[in-house]
């Protein structure tokens, strides 16, 4: 008799393996979905009760343990291998992808026309006229001066920005990026002038936001492990002591972190009070 059906073949196989440890044989029939069939109808009630528990928590360790104990390699199920590109798309929303592509495109242009030319076009502001070229308040985040600089920032942007966009929407990610780009750029310009660039001010804002939002609002579905947050702060402190070769946008990093923490605090005030 037919019990239920799954979209995910791994979930179907996990339940079959678990029921095998309980002495119940189930079969999987592949059609448009994966249908579970019960051979012994006298065990229907017991299997249905187990199925309810499985649906509530399919990733419980007991099901993985059952697959190790009773699973076989000849189940007949074939899993589609996800490409790296599809995995990136699954994690990232449209804004995450578009801004990432823009950073890559600008980096390529910098290799063709030179850093100084791109800085003249996109840096914070030139010749004391920021109000006549308002794009400069934000375009500095597209500038990266080495491949390592670009890759490091884009990995964090994808990891954190993608999570925020998927869970909280493109609008929330846009606001975080916009405000942190503006304020971190303004502060860095005060310390070093307009010759700077990079997405790291926004990345630090996302670190602060995701960490504090996860601590105060676990139901939001976004979080950053405390160990990674500690690493980010340590990296920031080391940068202030000049431990790295070349200039570091320390003011932008610190400002971005404060902005992210402040935005997360504001967004979770009502949740914390409740």
Catalytic residues, by residue number, are 200, 253
Q: Is 191:251 a contact under the CB 8 Å cutoff?
A: yes
Q: How far apart are CA 253 and CA 249, in angstroms?
A: 6
The dihedral sign for the CA sequence 266, 143, 136, 184: positive
- What lies within 8 Å, CB to CB, of 261 at 6+ separation is 208, 209, 212
Provide the 10 A C-beta neighbour count for residue 51: 17
Q: What is the DSSP string of 141-159?
A: GG--SSHHHHHHHHHHIII
Q: How far apart are CA 107 and CA 96, in angstroms?
A: 17
Q: How far apart are CA 2 and CA 109, in angstroms?
A: 59
Q: How far apart are CA 121 and CA 119, in angstroms?
A: 5
> E strands within the chain?
2-6, 26-30, 34-38
């Amino acid at each position: 008799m037919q019990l239920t059906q799954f979209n995910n073949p791994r979930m179907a196989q996990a339940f079959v393996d678990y029921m095998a440890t309980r002495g119940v044989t189930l079969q999987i029939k592949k059609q448009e979905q994966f249908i579970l069939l019960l051979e012994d109808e006298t065990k229907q009630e017991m299997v249905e009760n187990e199925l309810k528990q499985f649906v509530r928590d399919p990733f419980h360790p007991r099901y993985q343990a059952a697959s190790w104990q009773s699973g076989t390699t000849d189940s007949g199920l074939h899993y589609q291998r996800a490409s790296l590109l599809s995995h990136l798309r699954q994690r990232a929303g449209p804004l995450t992808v578009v801004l990432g592509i823009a950073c890559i495109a600008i980096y390529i242009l910098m290799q063709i026309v030179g850093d100084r030319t791109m800085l003249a076009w996109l840096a914070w502001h030139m010749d004391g006229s920021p109000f006549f070229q308002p794009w400069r308040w934000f375009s500095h985040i597209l500038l990266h001066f080495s491949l390592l600089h670009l890759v490091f920032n884009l990995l964090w942007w994808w990891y954190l920005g993608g999570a925020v966009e998927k869970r909280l929407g493109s609008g929330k990610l846009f606001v975080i990026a916009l405000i942190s780009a503006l304020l971190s750029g303004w502060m860095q310009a005060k310390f070093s002038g307009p010759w700077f660039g990079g997405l790291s001010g926004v990345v630090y804002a996302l670190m602060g936001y995701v960490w504090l939002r996860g601590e105060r609002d676990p139901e939001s579905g976004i979080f950053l492990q405390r160990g990674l947050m500690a690493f980010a702060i340590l990296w920031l402190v080391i940068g202030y002591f000049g431990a790295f070769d070349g200039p570091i946008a320390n003011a932008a990093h610190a400002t971005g972190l404060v902005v992210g923490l402040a935005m997360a605090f504001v967004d979770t005030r009502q949740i914390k009070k409740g």
